[in-house]
Chains A and B, each alone.
Chain A
Amino acid sequence: MSYAYLFKYIIIGDTGVGKSCLLLQFTDKRFQPVHDLTIGVEFGARMITIDNKPIKLQIWDTAGQESFRSITRSYYRGAAGALLVYDITRRETFNHLASWLEDARQHANANMTIMLIGNKCDLAHRRAVSTEEGERFAKENGLIFMEASAKTAQNVEEAFIRTAATIYKKIQEGVFDVSNESSGIKVGYGGIPGSSGGASGSSAPGGGCCS
């Protein structure tokens, strides 16, 4: 299927916070509590529409265990967006956010859009991290923030799309050099943005990489 842009996303966060479930809910619109744990990385993809433009999200779902951090770091390269996920019922997954963020800042494109997600908000009775704390952390670190539930699908769609919209806006503002693949953005068939002004400078790669 043709798309105007392809955005690479990476989902990071501690093991068991629901990264793979968020991905599955987003790509297949279903919740599968029984699935195999992620070794290395898994991939998902979905088309969305922003500003009437078809955008393909290619999503990298990573293994969360500490031991695999050195491998996970190699996946950041060229990601335009990241979903940093914690589990609102497990305090330690929130406490580890700073270290994940550090990794992301160090190994990803500086313009990468990061969305902080407090997952499992359907389990409010077991909540161990308040919404305010999540908001505060996001604000302090310049992240977008949402609480979501992969189980009920609450805010899942919104989280992925809002991240994409932010990236799209950055393209419009010329923050990204979309001709550079390390930005995590590829320009697709016939998707050369006409109205974005000269800043994005994307007409050349549009012809170059797709024909």
Chain B
Amino acid sequence: MQEADLHDLSDDPDYAASQQQALGRSLYRSDSAKSTEMDSGGGGGSETVYVKDNVAIHPTQYASERISGRLLLVKRDSSLFMTWIPYKLSVGGTDSTGRSSNAGILEKDRKLYTIKDVPLADVHSIRRHTPTLGWQYIIVVLSSGLAFPPLYFYNGGVREFLATLKQHVFIVRSADDANVFLANDFQDPLQKSLSSLELPRVVSVANGATLHGSVGALSSVENSERRNGDMQIATSSSEYSGRNKHKLHDPARDISIQVLEKFSLVTKFARETTSHLFRENHNNDSSIHERKQLDHKPSSASTDTQKISSAPVAPDPLEFDKLPLIWGKQRQQPLDVKEWVCFLDAEGRITDSKALRKRIFYGGVEHSIRKEVWKFLLGYHPYDSTYAEREYLASVKKSEYEIIKSQWQSISPAQARRFTKFRERKGLIEKDVVRTDRSISFYDGDDNPNVAVLHDILLTYSFYNFDLGYCQGMSDLLSPIFYVMEDESESFWCFVELMERLGPNFNRDQSGMHSQLFALLKLVELLDTPLHNYFSKTECLNYFFCFRWLLIQFKREFEYEEVMRLWEVLWTHYLSEHLHLYICVAILKRYRQKIMGEEMDFDTLLKFINELSGRIRLGDILRDAEALCVCAGENGDACIPPGTPPSLPLETASLYPQQDQDDI
């Protein structure tokens, strides 16, 4: 064993604890973590059945920024665990992004990505990608729906890995997709019982999870106290699992303290703002609740569950000390033409793009100038371009668009008959554009020419980016752009720019979505640990209930005009490229009381979140999100894996490597 070149995480109890929480694993697991440490030192009851070096994670799209490490399968108490530990030094140690604190970022990434002792019992499936060209990789998806980033086998060996797995756990090839292997696929009751016999820890998790719902004799208060008790025990045992015993910190508390400190610091500098963010949140929660009861018939979600909101809810940690916390800044009026022209110099350059972005961040833009401003925000027009340059660009890009468009237009019916992929794609787009925003007058009515333009742009895009193609949700993203631009070619190129950032949302393996859902999990853990713990307990950590929010940038959650406002704010990337994730956190925090008080399970929560559509107050949520983003600071950044959409790719390598198995 080449212990020397491995980054030993045993001196990092903070990380070990956070990993356990993140994976939603049992509190009991901290014991197993402890035994791992002992095993790796002395070799107790565990046996390493598989070791593979040079298995890497690509935090960004680029292989040059990979983090290499060692993949292990360890058998302990007849259960199998998977571990991936990054090497201490990254290969080559280079950072092509030119980011500053190189070592810090790598260190942070390593912590973020390390996979520690994941029981194979928690694995739902493993998707393998063994393209004829390029590196082989696997994606491990947990039963919770959480997926780890792809693990690239630089020296090959995916087949061997799967073969080894097969010797120890029950995996079957999915009938649906030959590249997917299902673990724990208990069609067979015998397998099921065998497996549960072999997995005492999993059984205890299940007991813990069902305790609350099934044991009527215990009051929920007692239950939650009991759980809190467990938590403390777990935390303390993870503290001792480290080798450096002087580092006796509770990571969660550390973070909360930092957050609170940051908050009070901000407060000092912003005395003029008087609102108390999180206290008001709380008040709003109840007022919204009351209003709903007055205005609407009782929501079906609450009648379905037929539970009264009596469960004790852990307080919001950010509300804890009742510090005089600030709101995000008061929102301003949208940028109007008069103000807009002040940002332009005589030749049409935007001299201070940061000031412009800040201005738009706090107020959006008036509709009349969206057509112009969005092109900058989306990156289609460079900020330092002149009027003349932009005019030239438009004409060049128009003919370029026509060329790409003519590629599919020239496909004859006879050719199409022999081109299934094209027919399928075209058919799908045809079906979807007539189901996109037809209630907006711009797109309504029979044979609306604007609908035909949506079709043409999407089909042209699927030729421009054949690997990504077309996926549902894209028409939702295109619709407001064309509504604003009113020009086919300009809309196409703006859409292209948007897809540079959001394209990974539509990757077939859902990698872009998974990385956002993962980041969201981490952010909630940071900014509302009790809510995180609640989601963990109720097996909601896959965050699938936020799927629609993320996939199409809240397009279905707000009125059309508000969607455009929100998008232009997001596109400024003023405070963060990932403000949308803070918006998710802000919405969840607004309803935390209801979610936890009514003890929503996954189904109820999903329905509840779906029914929030049209009820979220954009201005308030943006202010909350801003405050959360400022509050989380670097800790927030650290929650978001590099390359998480909508981060812009830095090179233009093959962006969609998994598409080799695409069938549409």
Q: Interface residues, chain A, CB within 8 Å of chain B? A: 1, 6, 8, 15-16, 34-37, 39-43, 45, 56, 58, 63, 65-71, 74-75, 77-78, 99, 102-103, 105-106, 181, 186, 188-189, 208-210
Contacts and interface: CB of A to CB of B under 8 A. Distances in A.
Given A36-B436, A39-B473, A15 B610 contact: no
16 contacts: A16-B431, A34-B438, A35-B435, A36-B437, A36-B438, A36-B556, A37-B431, A37-B432, A37-B436, A37-B472, A43-B607, A67-B506, A71-B547, A105-B187, A106-B187, A186-B304
A75 B602 CA distance: 9
B431 A15 contact: yes
A39 B472 contact: yes
Contacts of B606: 41, 75
A102 B176 contact: yes
B499 interface: no
B216 A208 contact: yes
B306 interface: yes
Interface of B: 141, 145, 174-176, 182, 185, 187, 216, 300, 303-304, 306, 428, 431-432, 434-439, 444, 471-473, 475-476, 506, 508, 510, 542, 544, 547-548, 551-552, 556, 601-603, 606-607, 610-611, 663-664
Contacts of A6: 304
Given A36-B556, A71-B547, 20 more contacts: A1-B303, A15-B432, A34-B438, A35-B435, A36-B438, A37-B431, A39-B552, A41-B610, A43-B611, A56-B304, A66-B663, A70-B510, A71-B510, A74-B542, A74-B544, A77-B602, A99-B175, A102-B175, A106-B185, A188-B306
Contact of A68 (B174, B472, B602, B607): B472
B306 to A, nearest CB: 5
Contacts of B610: 40-43
A67 B435 contact: no
A78 B434 contact: no
A186 B604 CA distance: 13
Nearest to A100: B176
A63 B435 CA distance: 13
> Which 5 pairs show the lowest CB-CB distances between chains A and B?
A37-B435, A40-B548, A16-B431, A34-B438, A65-B472
A86 B182 CA distance: 27
Contacts of A105: 187
A100 B216 CA distance: 38
A1 B304 CA distance: 9
A99 to B, nearest CB: 5
Nearest to B613: A42
B126 to A, nearest CB: 13
A63 B472 contact: yes
Contacts of A77: 602-603
Contacts of B547: 40, 71
Nearest to A106: B185
A71 B602 CA distance: 13
A65 B471 contact: yes
B551 A39 contact: yes
Contact of A39 (B175, B306, B548, B601): B548
Nearest to B508: A67
Contact of B471 (A36, A67, A71): A67
B544 A99 contact: no
B606 to A, nearest CB: 7
Nearest to A211: B306
B434 A34 contact: yes
A36 B548 contact: no
B472 A45 contact: no
Nearest to B472: A65
Contacts of B552: 39
A34 B435 contact: yes
B658 to A, nearest CB: 12
Contact of A67 (B306, B472, B475, B542): B472
Contacts of B428: 15-16, 65
Nearest to B549: A40
A99 B175 CA distance: 8
Contacts of A40: 547-548, 551, 610
B220 to A, nearest CB: 13
Nearest to B548: A40
Q: Which of A8, A45, A56, A65 has the most CB of B within 10 A?
A: A65
B438 A210 contact: no
A58 B428 CA distance: 28
Contacts of B439: 34
Contacts of A16: 428, 431
Contacts of A74: 145, 542, 544, 602
Contact of B603 (A15, A42, A78, A210): A78
Nearest to A20: B435
Given A43-B607, A99-B176, A66 B602 contact: no
Given A8-B603, A36-B437, A67-B508, A209 B475 contact: no
Contacts of B300: 45
A56 B601 CA distance: 19
Contacts of A70: 141, 145, 510
Contacts of B175: 99, 102
A34 B611 CA distance: 21
A205 to B, nearest CB: 10
A209 B185 CA distance: 30
A66 B603 contact: no
B314 to A, nearest CB: 23
B78 to A, nearest CB: 26
B628 to A, nearest CB: 24
Contacts of B603: 8, 77-78
A210 B306 contact: yes
Nearest to B601: A181
Q: Which of A35, A41, A77, A210 has the most CB of B within 10 A?
A: A41
A94 B141 CA distance: 29
A106 B182 contact: yes
Contacts of A106: 182, 185, 187
Contacts of A68: 472
B544 A66 contact: no
B476 A39 contact: yes
A41 B609 CA distance: 11
A36 B435 contact: yes
Contacts of A8: 603
A15 B475 CA distance: 15
A145 B324 CA distance: 63
Contact of B306 (A37, A102, A189): A189
A103 B471 CA distance: 21
Nearest to A40: B548
B624 to A, nearest CB: 23
Contact of B544 (A45, A71, A188): A71
Nearest to B555: A39
Contacts of A102: 174-176
B145 to A, nearest CB: 6
B53 to A, nearest CB: 30
A109 to B, nearest CB: 13
